[in-house]
Chains A and B, each alone.
Chain A
Amino acid sequence: MVKTYRPENLQEALRIRRETHAVPLAGGTDLMVRYRSWAGTLPKFPWPVLFINHLTELKTMGLREDGLHIGAGVTLSEIEREMEAPQALRAAVSEMAAPALRNLGTLAGNICNASPAGDAVCVLYALDAQVVLTSLSGARTVSVMDFITGPGRKDLNDDELMTDIIIPHANFSHVSYRKVGTRKANALSKMSFCALAKTKLGRIDDVRIAFGAVGPTVVRSWETEKKLLGMDADDLKDHLSAIHDDYDAMIHPIDDQRSTAVYRKQVSLNLLDQFLQNLVKEL
């Protein structure tokens, strides 16, 4: 029988985490599936479990000086309804799973699951989001892209809990988010795409482009984004095929039960082209 802990507060949770290395469970929507067993029997968790979804310290969400803070216990439904949350994030969250699962699942859980197909993760890459990792010794802040190191792998020490997600302030005039799945609800992505841009006086002032489920981690290229900065409509038009080729060389999807590498790559590049062509028209 697996040992479980239900701490009264965050401090106690951190102490239990340090002493037992119990694995945190917030919404349970990933862990309860991964370790499910026959009906009427216990889930087969291979380690002690730390319940954290009731901790009020993790339930806060709001704007602060450095951006929008989303507590690790905030559910996907709560983010979906949060008017201060970036449009692309709300769009991504509203297409994840279905309402009952969004009422349980958390953004922090989606990040900690570290799946290359995590829908919100693709958007968080584009938004330069950061996560706060807290232990009894203190807290450290790392970017989502440094936190996720590979499929299912993350930079989380066994005495730490993710306590907060920070989305830096930014405004975008062009927002595109697309999830490609087999059906509208309850589908895991074949691929996802998030592109954000801000234009100023007819030129690209800020641009971020991220592709999910087409590699071991989300694909984003600062080098190519830098090339796009400062371009006006004519520059961008002249560079469309070069930018396309840049990403073509970066995107290396795989065949699996959900889709094929060929399809994923084609859709990724189609969505990229569509975004850039729209941008040309609107610059």
Chain B
Amino acid sequence: MSTITFRLNEKNISLEADPASRLLDLLREDLGLSAVKEGCGEGECGACSVLKDGVLVNSCMVPVGTIEHCSIETLEGLRETDEGRCIIEAFADTGAVQCGFCTPGMVMASIALLRSNARPTLEEIKVALSGNLCRCTGYDMIIKGVQLAAERGDGIW
């Protein structure tokens, strides 16, 4: 075990963890942040997406030893912000949520996209969400949700 120091949802945190363990397990099991989902555990589904220093990553691929001094953002930290609320409301209004398992990852991927590109094209949205699997919606409503969030959230990203 080692002491790992990082920033989690805008708060500094320091805890004992095995550096080889997965960020996904640290967030879910040790810190109780259950918005982070484990779908495939091998980087294929995007359900465990979080932001590491502002960029989208699969937390199942990230050993805890590599997040020292990094900033990690999860849905728990974003859902009460203007950005988070904008996307969540847009997803609700377009019917982008069915079973909900992929939704936290989809929201994280959408925030990562809109922060770097506030007016994405359809193709850019598809690429940004290409690592996130949804087995319910057929993606159309999720894409519409991102478009609606881009429209409504002009200037907040």
Residues 30-74 of A, flagged 1 when their CB comes within 8 A of B and 0 if not, give: 001100100110110100010101100000000000000000000
Q: Is the interface of B mostly helix, strand, loop or mixed?
A: mixed
Instruction: Find out whether the CB atom of A186 lies under 8 angstroms from the CB atom of B62.
Output: no
Instruction: Find out whether the CB atom of B55 lies under 8 angstroms from the CB atom of A42.
Output: no
Q: Is B153 an interface residue (CB 8 A)?
A: no
Total A-B pairs in contact (CB under 8 Å)?
A: 100
Instruction: Find out whether the CB atom of A33 lies under 8 angstroms from the CB atom of B43.
Output: yes
Instruction: Find out whether the CB atom of B20 lies under 8 angstroms from the CB atom of A77.
Output: no
Q: Is A185 an interface residue (CB 8 A)?
A: yes
A39 and B29 alpha carbons, distance in the complex (Å): 10
Q: Which bucket holds chain B's interface residue count?
A: 35 or more
Q: Is the interface of A mostly helix, strand, loop or mixed?
A: loop
Instruction: Find out whether the CB atom of A4 lies under 8 angstroms from the CB atom of B57.
Output: no
A residues near B109, Cβ cutoff 8 Å? 99-100
List CB contacts (< 8 Å) of B47-88 with chain A: 49, 52, 55-58, 60-63, 65-66, 68-69
Residue in chain A with minimal CB distance to B56: A100
Residue in chain A with minimal CB distance to B30: A40
Instruction: Find out whether the CB atom of A29 lies under 8 angstroms from the CB atom of B61.
Output: yes
Instruction: Find out whether the CB atom of B43 lies under 8 angstroms from the CB atom of A29.
Output: yes
Residue in chain B with minimal CB distance to A102: B131
Residue in chain B with minimal CB distance to A186: B44
Which of A6, A28, A186 makes the CB contact (< 8 A) with B61? A28
Instruction: Find out whether the CB atom of B131 lies under 8 angstroms from the CB atom of A100.
Output: yes
A residues near B52, Cβ cutoff 8 Å? 103
CB distance from A162 to the nearest CB of B (A): 18
Residue in chain A with minimal CB distance to B58: A100
A2 and B60 alpha carbons, distance in the complex (Å): 18
Which of B20, B60, B132 makes the CB contact (< 8 A) with A45? B20
A residues near B49, Cβ cutoff 8 Å? 100
CB distance from B68 to the nearest CB of A (A): 6
Report A's interface with B, CB cutoff 8 A.
1-2, 4, 6, 25, 27-29, 32-33, 36, 39-40, 42-43, 45, 49, 51, 53-54, 77, 97-101, 103-104, 184-186
Given contact pairs A49-B63, A186-B131, enumerate 14 new A-B contacts (beta carbons under 8 Å): A1-B20, A4-B20, A27-B61, A28-B63, A28-B66, A36-B60, A40-B25, A43-B20, A43-B22, A98-B130, A98-B131, A100-B43, A103-B56, A103-B57
Across chains A and B, which 8 residue pairs bring their CB atoms closest together, nearest first?
A98-B131, A185-B130, A4-B19, A100-B56, A103-B55, A33-B42, A32-B61, A98-B130
